[in-house]
Amino acid sequence: MDVNIMSQIEPKIENSWKELLHDEFQDAYFKLLKTFLIDEKLKYRIYPPGSQIFAAFDKTPIEKVKVVLIGQDPYHGKGQAHGLCFSVPHGIRPPPSLVNIFKELNADINIPIPNHGNLEKWAEQGVLLLNATLTVRAGQAGSHQNKGWELFTNSAIKKIAEKKKGLVFILWGRFAQAKEELININEHYVLKAAHPSPFSANNGFFGCRHFSQTNTILTQQGKEPVDWCL
């Protein structure tokens, strides 16, 4: 991570999000978070690279957001995390949860399972691929939880839900489903299922049909459906 990115008064982030989240960058918790990250960088390898920490926001400006998919942590393996939840860069083998996402996608709308795990195409169409925690120490899952990121991303979820109407929130697993309290369910659509992890996918993720349901909801609102094909 580039230390300078997190040491700025306001980190580099897409302008519409920068404006919406301006107060968060000034808050005491975020200043403590920056101090923590700078110290971590001096001691450990941190994922994703600094320029990709806010990739979910950079790839999906506010005016484009129509779907919000919430993850928990960045991948902690070398080369995996690039700022979009569940996604990995081209050339990196898709992790098990992402493999199961592709299996459900294939079963739901008959899209061929791709030979890569890069979900940038979804993000560019308005699917906000947001992890609750935006950084992680290499090889140590959950190592940056409860350091301030959750306050930041909770605020992002709440503010985008207040600013827009008719969003589709996809909440897989208990962690993501706890974010429902940030959303006015009378103004948005919430789809819930088990997490796609191999440990839970058979408990309700497989067969959830969230991809087709999302597109049905978007179409009914006169919005362009997501082309889920990668």
SS (H, E, C) 27-87: CHHHHHHHHHHHHHHHHCCEECCHHHCCHHHHHCCHHHCCEEEEECCCCCCCCCCCCCCCC
Task: Return d(Cα 11, Cα 72) in angstroms, integer.
Answer: 21
Report the relative pairing of strands 46-47 and 136-137 from DSSP bridges.
antiparallel
Active-site position among 2, 23, 39, 73 = 73
Q: At what angle do helices 149-163 and 28-43 cross, to 10 degrees?
A: 130
Q: How long is the chain?
A: 230
Query: What are the beta bridge partners of residue 57?
Result: none
CB 186 within 8 A of CB 195: no
Residue with tokens 């609750």: 132
**Annotation marks residue 73 as catalytic:** yes
Q: Note whether 190 and 183 are within 8 A (CB).
A: yes
Residues with catalytic roles: 73
